[in-house]
Structure 1
Amino acid sequence: MTNQIFAKDALLPTGWANNVLLQWNSLGELTTVTPNTEPNGAPTTAGPITPGLPNLHSHAFQRAMAGLTEFRGAAQDSFWSWRNLMYQFAARLSPEQVEAIATWLYIEMLEAGYTSVCEFHYLHHSADGTPYADDAELSKALLRAAKTAGIAITLLPVLYQTSGFGGTPPNEGQRRFIRSTDSMLRLLETLKPLCDAQGARLGMAPHSLRAVPPDSLREAVAGLHAIDASAPVHIHIAEQTAEVDACLAWSGQRPVAWLLDHAPVDARWCLVHATHMSESEYQRAAASGAVAGICPSTEANLGDGLFDMPRWLGHGGAWGLGSDSHACVNAAEELLLLEYGQRLQFRQRNVLASAQQPQVATATLLQAVAGGAQASGRNAQGLAVGQRADFCVLDAQHLALRGLAAPAMFSAHVFGSHRTSALDAVWVAGQQRTGSGSQHPLRAQAQAAFIAARSALV
């Protein structure tokens, strides 16, 4: 069975092309991408097509916290004071609430132009830290949420063992997160066939160097790759200057340098945030092939700092975007915030444009799609044969886009629209997931369940 669609304009990995015919097989993989052709009976989209964006970093439950921590509760608020509020919120969640929140979040992601998500999942146990009778209960809730919404998921169960460098015991707020290395590997073995059956990818996330001692990091990564040699590994690293200082005090090295010296970092790895690196760390991390996972809205919300993207790109580094704590759930807005952060940092405009792609919106989307697909461990690197048919259709009649050429439409979508309102439809693996105006068919019932869950928690 072959499905097909025709677009007068489509953004391919090489740039914008005209009169493009896309065809895909029953697995949702593109078999034909032909520019400068005729529709040949294929339905024609009303607007240009762009590749769907992978969301490479998500803590789903935190979507229900959005807007609830924006008050000063200490003399000087910081990531660390926010983290205490997050622990209090996480302690109250039931499996049913986790699933309701994640289902609505994944629908929001689809409506906003994300076609896959990497779920960095560290909420494992019941409120007092006791494992559920089914140890995979909360992981299964996230898989169900993704299946209900129709988004592709890379599930990344989190290994979390200590509260600080040097093996500091976990604190009370972390009791729902804690697992032994053996327990993590048993969980991965349980989840692997479930993920395979759903078309999901399974990886693992050592939470951070402060939360996973060196021996556990080594054993867990080796165990994961014995289960699946291509499985992705994601880790929070160098997000905060206090983390860098603590790592130096513990080991004499900065976090990224220590990781590169003590772990088999390669193209399977995603270094989430990596905000505070030295020149040597930028060079070595980029050379490893790892993806930098940048989360502009969350990094701004938490006061993390700014990643030096020109330096990373100068070393040939791959990167992708995540919405992390979900203060913002919008693919276009993350692209905007990424570029604006660089403009503020360097006091220039169009910083992330390239010689090959002088239009910054196009350049950043193509790079983020490629890096996000790599970090997701799935073939979703854009509109090319062998890749998944994950794409968005722009609303050519939207006020911000109407009358413009396709490249300018996409630029206006990123820099001049109401974001999601400029999308018309989103497709995942060749299946249309949102209808006209990018509205998901389950929007109303998922929204009601989310509101009920959040109201009970607040």
Structure 2
Amino acid sequence: MKIYAEKALTPTGWQKDVLVTVAADGTIASLESEVDDTRAKEAGKRVAILLPAPVNLHSHAFQRAMAGMSEKRGPEALDTFWTWRQIMYRFLDILSPDDIEAITAFVQMEMLEAGYICNAEFHYVHHQPDGTPYDNLAELSERVVAAAELTGIGLTLLPVLYQYGGCDGRPLGAGQIRFGNDFDRFARLHEGASRAVARLSTDSLIGVAPHSLRAVAPDALASCVDLAGARPLHMHLAEQIKEVEEVEAAYGQRPVEWLLANHAVGPNWCLIHCTQMTDAETDALAATGAVAGLCPITESSLGDGIFNGVRYLDKGGRLGLGSDSNIRITLSEELRTLEYSQRLRDHCRASVATPEQSTGRVLFEAALVGGAQAAGRASGALAVGCHADLMALDASSPMLDGCEGDEILDSWIFAGDDRLITDVWSAGRHLVIDGSHIRGDEIRTRYIQVMRRLRQKF
């Protein structure tokens, strides 16, 4: 397969008249710039603007179905992350395996239409509503895989170990019992999930996700690190003030302090949120080479706080983007919200721009590199040997007409939105054409049917 682009963002910068050849295994076999009209005619697909496309590094797919259901004031004086969590637990009680599969397929379709080419699914719903395991321990992991088979998205499946309701080891409460495993049962579940992922294309893989320092005992966290080996290991860290206080009371150190003192955190780690870090913790995490997994829309929705992105990037830290609660699935808005959070906090503009690169360019390339690293995916650039993870923008849009260089990214992110995305390829699979997923009608119809029933129950 060959794709011709009038303009493309490559590792050496913006290039014109680019011809990309995609090999049968979905990797980029060659990339040529300034090709003449004869060579351009070799392409089966012509686009105006071609970009590498990023990973969505953090998602709880099922939560998409409760978007819009948690904006009413609850019985307490102040609604917080913790009151929102109670709504989420009640919603979980009514979800069947078929529901979860349909919701996950819808989420993955929306991710692809938004420009994401891989779903790193932080998957913690494992059991029946009363906590009883399914006959197949990996039943719900297999439903996530089935959704990926339908949508074609790349998948990094992250089965989650969730043991306790808090640092004191208290039992899981109502709602949480669908998550719970000791490490031995989790290891068996992980083995079954690994077999399911092996059914997918070779660009999909499995990792490990100890949920958080609140929910996993220190010895089990060490076992998760061993189980992961060099594969992706993701964990929530320092998201909420209450969480920081609980960990500090139990372990004598703040979450980031304790983790870095007790584990050799490195490039295969992805720490999610990190919105409650001191400057010293920010510097220390940046030095590890791990990825900070940021979810700016969800972090705004839940009142988590603001990640110190300016300092973290200045110290060489790596970051990527995820849609987490999936209240909205939009790549451009995640990038925009991240930048605007820095401006609001620091009373500035163009917070991460450099003399050489614009705000949009810096953030977009950071998300490309960090997301690929967090997912364990050979991706993140329009380069030979990488997966052909690509997206095209509509240059005929008034937002992009006449734009050149980094202004293309800035206009898309800050003046436009994901409707400017025309085509998306995941490892060479052409899944979004003219802005719509190739199986969109089927996936949307099934999702609507599920949601009509769930709304009546909830």
For 1:153, the equivalent position in structure 2 comes to: 155
The equivalent of 1:347 in structure 2 is: 347
Structure 2 SS opposite 1:56: strand
Q: In structure 2, how many angstroms separate the alpha carbons of the residues matched to 1:235 and 1:195?
A: 20
Once the two structures are superposed, residues 197-217 of structure 1 have per-residue CA deviations (whole angstroms, 9 ceiling, x without a partner) of: 313210011000000010111
Which residue of 2 is the match for residue 32 of structure 1?
A: 30
Partner of 2:440: 443
Measure the CA separation in 2 of the matches of 1:82 and 1:150.
Answer: 32
Asked if 1:248 is matched to 2:252, the reply is no
CA distance in 2, matches of 1:286, 1:352: 16
How far apart are the structure 2 equivalents of 1:44 and 1:192? 35
For 2:13 and 2:346, the matched residues in 1 are separated by 27
What is the correspondence of 1:354-369 to structure 2 with a 5 Å cutoff? 354-357=354-357, 359-369=358-368
Paired residue type of 1:147? E
User: CA–CA distance in 1 between the matches of 2:318 and 2:12?
Assistant: 17
TM-superposition CA deviations, 1:204-257 (whole Å, max 9, x none): 1100000001011111221232xxxx2100000100011111111111100011
| Paired position in structure 2 for 1:49 | 50
- State the partner residue of 1:123: 125
CA contact (8 A) 1:238 1:276 kept: yes
TM-score (norm 1): 0.95
- Aligned amino acid, residue 104 of structure 2: A
Partner in structure 1 of residue 383 of structure 2: 384
SS of residue matched to 1:389: coil
Runs of 4+ in 1 over 4 A off after TM superposition: none
Rounded Cα–Cα distance in structure 2 between residues aligned with 1:313 and 1:116? 24
Q: What CA distance in whole angstroms lies between the structure 1 residues aligned with 2:451 and 2:24?
A: 38
Deviation sequence 1:397-453 (CA, Å, 0-9, x none)? 122222333532332211112x222111111111210111x1112212211211221
For residue 426 of structure 2, the aligned residue among 414, 428, 434 is 428
**CA contact under 8 A between 1:48 and 1:406: conserved in structure 2?**
no
Q: Secondary structure at the match of 2:198?
A: helix
Q: Bigger CA drift: 279-288 or 322-331?
A: 279-288
Structure 1 residue aligned with 2:220: 216
Equivalence map 1:35-114=2 (5 Å): 35-38=33-36, 40=39, 41-43=42-44, 45-73=46-74, 74-114=76-116
CA deviation digits over 1:376-399, x for unaligned, max 9? 011012111111101111011122
The aligned residue for residue 295 of structure 2 is 295
What is the Cα deviation at residue 177 of structure 1? 0.1
Question: What is the rounded CA distance, in whole Å, between the counterparts of 2:354 and 2:279 in structure 1?
Answer: 21
One-letter amino acid of the counterpart of residue 217, structure 2: P
3-state SS of 2:286 partner = helix
How far is the alpha carbon of 1:44 from its aligned partner?
5.3
Paired with 2:228 and 2:339, the residues of 1 have a C-alpha distance of 35
Q: Tell me the amino acid that sits aligned with residue 197 of structure 1.
A: R
Which region of structure 1 is more displaced relative to structure 2, 187-196 or 273-282? 187-196
Distance 2:292 2:155 in 1: 19
Matches within 5 A, 1:189-338: 189-198=191-200, 199=202, 200-225=204-229, 230-338=230-338
Matches of 2:356 and 2:153, distance apart in 1: 31
SS at match of 1:48: strand
Which residue of the partner structure matches residue 187 of structure 2? 185
Could you tell which deviates more after superposition, 215-224 or 92-101? 215-224
Secondary structure of the residue aligned to 2:272 is strand
Please report how far the alpha carbon of residue 33 of structure 1 lies from its aligned counterpart in structure 2 after TM superposition: 2.0
Distance (Å, rounded) in 1 between the aligned partners of 2:224 and 2:363: 33
Distance 2:36 2:211 in 1: 50
Match of 2:5 in 1: 7
Q: CA contact under 8 A between 2:54 and 2:380: conserved in structure 1? A: no
SS of residue paired to 1:32: strand
Contact 2:399 2:411 survives alignment (8 Å): yes
- Measure how far apart 1:35 and its partner are: 2.3
TM-score when normalising by structure 2? 0.95
In 2: Cα distance, 1:312 partner to 1:14 partner: 24
Q: Gaps (5+ residues) in structure 1?
A: none
1:457 corresponding residue in structure 2: 454
The separation in 2 between residues aligned to 1:283 and 1:339, in whole angstroms, is 19
- Describe how 1:399-414 pairs up with structure 2 within 5 A: 399-405=398-404, 407-414=406-413
CA pair 279-408 structure 1, distance change in 2 beyond 3 A:
closer
Q: Cα RMSD between the aligned structures?
A: 1.3
Q: Equivalents in 2 of 1:144, 1:263: separation in Å? A: 34
Contact 2:19 2:35 in 1 (8 A): yes
For structure 2, the residue ranges without an aligned partner over 5 or more in a row are none
**Structure 1 CA distance, aligned partners of 2:306 and 2:283?**
17
User: What CA distance in whole angstroms lies between the structure 2 residues aligned with 1:44 and 1:99?
Assistant: 32
CA contact 1:45–1:393 (8 Å) conserved in 2: no
* Separation (CA, whole Å) in 2 of partners of 1:408 and 1:355: 14
Equivalent-residue separation in structure 2 for 1:221 and 1:301 (angstroms): 31
Change (3 A) 1:44 1:446: closer
Change beyond 3 A, Cα 1:101–1:330: same
